[in-house]
Structure 1
Amino acid sequence: MDLLQDLQWRGIIYQQTDEEGIKDILSKEKISLYCGVDPTADSMHIGHLLPFLTMRRFQEAGHRPIVLVGGATGLIGDPSGKSEERKLQTLEQVQHNVEGIRKQLEQIFNVEGENGAMMVNNYDWAGSMDIVTFLRDFGKYVGVNYMLAKDTIASRLETGISFTEFTYTILQAMDFYHLYKNHDCKLQIGGSDQWGNITTGLELIRKITGEGSKAYGLTIPLVTKADGSKFGKSESGAVWLDPEKTSPYEFYQFWINTADADVVKYLKYFTFLSKEVIEQLEQAVKDEPHLRQAQKTLAEEMTRMIHGEESLQQAIKISAALFSGDVKELSAEEIKQGFKDVPSFTVEGKGETGLVDLLVAANISPSKRQAREDISNGAVSLNGDRVTDTAYVLSEADRIEGQFTIVRRGKKKYFLIQY
């Protein structure tokens, strides 16, 4: 399959401004294309991934990706998908966010070689532009009626939209024109909600450069879950690419918990596995769903891509330890990842603590009588080892790297004791 056929098979193409034109230009030359992200936070989340991974597929086919971080547009705010005005960020906050996102994008793309990814920031050409230049050189080419017809703007007319957000689509159009003129960029990729902004860019290019301009737009579908819930959210919130916000273990767990109804679609969307391999995994979902081979492969591919092999192996180790209960093999750092969201209790001081007293103080057992009963019945484990002595006193030997003791009550209820 060629590139476009592969994208079609994966279900990645949603809309194209000129299907035949895109097919023709890709068959004749290696092009530059771009996709942008506004720095609304200092990290991207997995909802940002699909457009950039799609652009990486173009790179692997020999084309050159231009990755745009919107230092200027991030100061304004895209009205797309919002029912009210965004809270404006300071320039300092936006620049901080730009650097965080830039590092993550450099992990996704190859930045070396003839078609190495180029990183740009639209603040470099829009940040110093005066209002008269903006109005004369760009504003006059975009009609108000044309903008009012855009869904992103029309949907906000009843609730209200400021002139600032109203002009966002012109700023993004300026990006496409700038990259077209200065870097011979001929294609913009974006999510389906970016269709209006992309077509405004094409209109601006056509009006400034003439009818013979060769520029195109392609959008990808909104990623959805079969049960109707929002993709990219876990119980603890958004799934971030920053390991400080979402640990590699949590990242791995998000993907491995993918439903059977979604896993093949996500393998097509997000991984670079071949059609043959994905079809084999699709068959495995039908024949042996209990083995969850497709989910394991998806989790491994995504964690390796975003966090690297070492973090992947660490996530697998934590998962195996939690499943088996053999947690004493984990390091303190691995415990921080794997037990981030379990109930915790901090023991003050360095003295020894009786197990019964600890269970009550940490709200693991409701009373001393229940605590003794739990221990006697073998329902309590320390660092994976069952304790049945009601007079047991915890010592330094029960502390993993001197920092943690993991208490398990019953089969699945974990508690983290910190020192």
Structure 2
Amino acid sequence: MTNLLDDLAWRGLLYQQTDAEGMEQLLSEEKVSLYCGVDPTADSMHIGHIVPLLTLRRFQMHGHRPILLVGGATGMIGDPSGRSEERQLQTTEQIDLNVQGIKKQMEQIFDFDTENGAQMVNNREWIGSMDVIEFLRDFGKLININYMLGKDSIASRLDTGLSFTEFAYTLIQGIDFNHLYDHFGCRVQVGGSDQWGNITTGLEVIRKTHDDNTKAYGITIPLVTKADGTKFGKSASGSVWLDAKKTSPYEFYQFWINTADSDVIKYLKIFTFLERAEIEALEVTVENEPHLRKAQITLAEEMTRLIHGQYALDQAIRISQALFSGNLKALTAEEMKDAFKDVPSVEMAKEEKNIVDFIVEATVSPSKRQAREDVTNGAISINGEKITDVAYVVSGADRLEDEFMIMRRGKKNYKMIKFV
């Protein structure tokens, strides 16, 4: 099997290590437990969250045990890292709902039933029962204020303002690492580059509460960006979520398939579990046959299958093929609604209307004269069915689920008509 750290380096997944030599020796001598944390600030993760988790999954594939920490306690405070203002605090009930949503997504990524199966823990189990005196006496005394002021996540907020609540976040995360070290044998924390300060605080807490022979390690992963330096993980409609209700599998598939040639090999390395030889072969196709978009198709298929499963991938491919060919009749009403949710739309009454008048009212054609020409020339279709008769009457039979209709003018001009 490929050396894990060498593979991570080749994929561009190693940014900082607290002790590179010690880490390499540890992994060569034993199978370890290591963790990554996610704060449940929403009921779904988005694709920007999953790079450390996918990295943790790579460790699991090499025989190590992942511990998945969901921050039921820290999520109620808010990590100041990378933020310019205080996070909006959430209720306990909302945090619990968020935890449930994230747990389902973790189950898509990790194996839970193998010998080194993933274990999910919630830091509210040990932080929630700690009183303020215990926190200050047992842990507050361990970390010097000057040490904390040296953390980028704290120093960057001193001018704009930082509450004591968020100031204490890094120490609470240090308590997490210490607890996992003591109770789960956890030796390594993995996180994004913005978590370096929190990880090193955890190592400091472990060092001060154990003897000199204690060894724990931290690894961070670089921030993923596009080739032009802009932020990764946003589509035209916003963040790309793992929850199918927030970002449908079709939209998820389309996000990856629209990856630029300049980014696709980097993303294949970071996000997929394809072997090096497969990725290098796809790199050749990007250089020699970019029009075939083999690398993008592979990336979209691998990611959609991982997060949403084979059935959802098959559905996303079917929608994509139907839109490319113009054969909308191959789609179900639900698939049409999904595929066209972002196209221009107009609301109309549920009444029978001549096709020419309907087209003008729906602003599909600018005038009755143009509408007649469009119909006569075969440029108009309703739900994939071409309409060529200017006497055609649009009726309830044309409404999908009695709610909407997809009208197309020409090859690419779509409009969703919503009936009220």
CA contact 2:358–2:394 (8 Å) conserved in 1? no
Q: SS of 1:47's equivalent? A: coil
One-letter amino acid matched to 2:286: V
**Deviation string for 1:289-327 (max 9, x for gaps)?**
000000000000000000000000000000001111100
The more displaced of 199-208 and 121-130 is: 121-130
Aligned match of 1:310: 311
Amino acid at match of 1:211: D
User: How do 1:73-88 residues align onto structure 2 when only pairs under 5 Å count?
Assistant: 73-88=74-89
Deviation at 1:397, TM superposition (A): 4.6
Q: Where does residue 287 of structure 2 map in the other structure?
A: 286
Structure 1 residue 86, shift from structure 2 partner: 1.1
* 1:151 alignment counterpart: 152
- The CA distance in 1 between the partners of 2:71 and 2:184, in whole Å, is 17
Report Cα offsets for 1:358-405 as digits up to 9, x if no partner: 212222223323322322333222222332322221245534455543
Match of 1:398 in 2: 398
> Is it true that 1:371 corresponds to 2:391 in the alignment?
no
Are residues 1:27 and 2:28 paired? yes
Q: Which residue of 1 aligns with 2:346?
A: 345
Give distance in 2, aligned partners of 1:124 and 1:340. 41
1:357 aligned residue: 357
Q: Which moved further from structure 2: 151-160 or 397-406?
A: 397-406
Residue 104 in structure 1 maps to residue 105 in structure 2: yes
8 A contact 1:331–1:401 mirrored in 2: no
Whole-angstrom CA distance in 1 between matches of 2:43 and 2:363: 37
* Counterpart position of 2:388: 388
Shift of residue 237 of structure 1?
Answer: 0.3
Equivalent residues in 2 for 1:214-229, closer than 5 Å:
214-229=215-230
Q: How does 1:153-302 map to 2 (within 5 A)?
A: 153-302=154-303
RMSD across aligned positions (CA)? 1.3
Deviation of the 1:188 alpha carbon: 0.2
Q: State the AA in 1 paired with 2:390.
A: T
Aligned residue identity for 1:328: K
Structure 1 runs not aligned, ≥5 long: none
Q: 1: CA distance between counterparts of 2:83 and 2:104?
A: 27
Structure 1 residue 90: Cα displacement: 1.3
Letter paired with 2:273:
F
Identity of aligned residues (%): 67
**CA shift for structure 1 position 129:** 1.0
Distance 2:284 2:278 in 1: 10
Contact 1:331/1:400 (CA < 8 Å) preserved in 2? no
Q: Is the 8 A contact 1:169 1:200 kept in 2?
A: yes
The CA distance in 2 between the partners of 1:383 and 1:89, in whole Å, is: 43
Asked whether the equivalents of residues 198 and 217 of structure 1 are also in contact (C-alpha less than 8 Å), the reply is yes
SS in 1 for 2:365: coil
- Report the residue type matching 2:405 in the other structure: T
C-alpha distance in structure 2 between counterparts of 1:168 and 1:249, whole Å: 37
CA contact (8 A) 2:282 2:295 kept: yes
How far did 1:410 drift? Answer: 2.0
Instruction: Report the equivalent of 2:66.
Output: 65
Question: Distance between the aligned counterparts of 1:364 and 1:180, measured in 2?
Answer: 64
Question: Following the alignment from structure 2 to structure 1, what is the Cα–Cα distance between the partners of residues 146 and 123?
Answer: 26
Matches of 1:237 and 1:126, distance apart in 2? 34
- Give the SS at the match of 1:171: helix
Q: Distance in 2 between matches of 1:230 and 1:365?
A: 38
Q: For residues 413 and 20 of structure 1, what CA distance do their matches in structure 2 show?
A: 59
- Aligned residue in 1 for 2:413: 413
Q: Which secondary structure state, in structure 2, belongs to the residue aligned with residue 231 of structure 1?
A: coil
Q: Deviations over 1:47-86 (max 9, x none)?
A: 0011000000000100000001101101111110111111
Report Cα offsets for 1:336-373 as digits up to 9, x if no partner.
21111112334433x43321122122222233233223
CA contact (8 A) 2:253 2:313 kept: yes
What amino acid does structure 1 have at the position aligned with 2:45?
A: M
Unpaired runs of 5+ residues, structure 2, are: none
Bigger mean CA offset, 204-213 vs 388-397: 388-397
Note if contact 1:332-1:403 (Cα within 8 Å) is conserved in structure 2: no
State TM-score, norm by structure 2: 0.97
**1:4 equivalent in alignment to 2:15:** no
Bigger mean CA deviation after superposition, 400-409 or 38-47: 400-409
1:327 counterpart residue number: 328
Contact 2:73 / 2:127 at 8 angstroms: preserved in 1? yes
Tell me if structure 1 keeps the 8 A contact 2:344–2:416: yes
Is residue 232–residue 238 contact of structure 1 (8 Å, CA) maintained in 2? yes
3-state DSSP class of the match of 1:80?
coil
